[in-house]
């Protein structure tokens, strides 16, 4: 089958051929109509997670998928051929930059009736990240204050909407050109990261969702109230992440060392820091689908590209929300 293939870490992606997916009894074979592009795909291509999440090369990248069920495994009970589904392919089984992919039924949900395939494919990774950070880990509730960095990006644009739905007052960092856009998503406080220092403007926040890391994360710790939580999705990874992946003791120790500085700073400030590596979940996607159907969350698709342009589009920046590849000619139709 046709696929966008990574033959070696740090090498450019290229259009090529891969073997058909191998299905298990709980798998659903999907005719891919659209696939979302994520920073994680570019980081995997560059080999940044090669030791922690190794790929069997050559392989197709791609985590987000929306498409039509072609076939189901013998134990599948939730879906049948012809169903429109979407989801995030789990670690170890990614490959949505291809004509077909097999995904466990537990990692999928029906495509919301209000969304096109392109819109559905834009959601899984970023919406699950926002959900697992704000709803599951931080337990955001009405009246709390939440800072979301990079509010115009893929995760940020969904996280702003989710935080507002949960009743929070939301601050975000972005460029001046995106100020009106993030305000339209629900941001109450908009800070231009190029000219303003958010640390001088914000204090007493309950939650920070950080997608930048480095000094930005350190400053984020200092605007939290005592007992507040900073959740990082760009790093540094922590020991809990290493345990989640089942890494060996040497790698666990190395990862713990990487995050020692930020964890020490968090303890000194009386706050909590944790790294989030989101996981696939069909059940959580159904919760997100309900929010999309009600209008509480709307997909943000800033760019749509054809299949063959995935390699060039993957490393680009400055897109509002998500870039999505329309693999099937009807992917953008209602």
42-79 residue pLDDT tens: 999 999 988 888 899 999 999 999 999 999 999 999 99
Tokens coding 40: 């994680």
> Terminal CA-to-CA distance of the chain, rounded, Å?
27
- Name the residue among 330, 334, 327 with its Cα closest to residue 64: 327
3-state secondary structure 129-152: HHHHHHHHHCCCCCCCEEEECCCC
264-314 residue pLDDT tens: 999 999 999 999 999 999 999 999 999 999 999 999 999 999 999 999 999
76-128 residue pLDDT tens: 999 999 999 999 999 999 999 999 999 999 999 999 999 999 999 999 999 99
Does 332 score more than 80 pLDDT? no
Q: Are the beta carbons of 212 and 234 closer than 8 angstroms?
A: yes
Q: How far apart are CA 173 and CA 168, in angstroms?
A: 16
> Strand 84-88 and strand 169-174: pairing?
unpaired
Query: Where do the structural domains in the chain lie, given as residue ranges?
Result: 2-123+300-326, 126-275
Q: How far apart are CA 249 and CA 251, in angstroms?
A: 6
Q: Are the beta carbons of 180 and 173 closer than 8 angstroms?
A: no
Does 189 score more than 80 pLDDT? yes
What CATH superfamily is the domain 126-275?
A: NAD(P)-binding Rossmann-like Domain (3.40.50.720)
Q: How far apart are CA 138 and CA 272, in angstroms?
A: 10
Helical packing angle, 249-258 and 260-269, nearest 10°: 50
What confidence score (pLDDT) does residue 334 get? 64
Q: Are the beta carbons of 141 and 159 closer than 8 angstroms?
A: no
pTM for this prediction: 0.96
- For the residues 238-253, what does the mean pLDDT come to? 82
CATH number of 2-123+300-326, picked from 3.40.1390.30, 3.30.70.2740, 3.90.180.10, 3.40.109.10:
3.90.180.10
Distances (CA, A) of 329 to 66, 306, 322: 13, 9, 19
- Write down how long the chain is: 334
């Amino acid at each position: 089958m046709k696929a966008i293939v990574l033959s070696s870490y740090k090498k450019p992606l290229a259009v090529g051929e891969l073997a058909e997916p191998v299905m298990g009894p709980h798998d659903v074979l999907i005719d891919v109509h659209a696939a979302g592009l994520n920073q994680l795909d570019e980081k995997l291509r560059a080999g940044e997670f090669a030791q922690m999440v190794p790929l069997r090369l050559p392989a197709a990248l791609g985590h987000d998928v929306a498409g039509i069920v072609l076939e189901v495994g013998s134990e599948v009970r939730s879906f049948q051929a012809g169903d429109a589904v979407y989801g995030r392919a789990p670690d170890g089984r990614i490959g949505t930059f291809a004509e077909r992919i097999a995904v466990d039924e537990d990692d999928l949900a029906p495509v919301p009736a209000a969304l096109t395939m392109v819109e559905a494919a834009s959601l899984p990774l970023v919406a699950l990240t926002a959900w697992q950070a704000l709803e599951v880990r931080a337990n955001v509730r009405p009246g709390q204050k939440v800072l979301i960095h990079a509010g115009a990006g893929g995760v940020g644009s969904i996280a702003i909407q989710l935080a507002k739905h949960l009743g929070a007052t939301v601050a975000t960092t972005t460029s001046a050109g995106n100020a009106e856009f993030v305000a339209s998503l629900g941001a109450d406080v908009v800070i231009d990261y190029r000219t303003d220092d958010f640390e001088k403007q914000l204090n007493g926040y309950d939650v920070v969702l950080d997608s930048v890391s480095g000094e930005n994360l350190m400053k984020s710790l200092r605007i939290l109230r005592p007992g507040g939580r900073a959740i990082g999705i760009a790093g540094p990874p922590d020991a809990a992440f290493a345990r989640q992946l089942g890494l060996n003791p040497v790698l666990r120790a190395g990862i713990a060392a990487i995050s020692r500085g930020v964890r020490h700073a968090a303890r000194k400030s009386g706050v909590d820091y944790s790294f989030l590596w989101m996981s696939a979940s069909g059940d959580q996607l159904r919760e997100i689908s309900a929010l999309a159907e009600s209008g509480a969350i709307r997909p943000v698709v800033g760019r749509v590209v054809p299949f063959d342009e995935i390699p060039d589009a993957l490393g680009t920046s400055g897109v509002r929300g998500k870039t999505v590849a329309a693999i099937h000619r009807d992917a953008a139709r209602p």
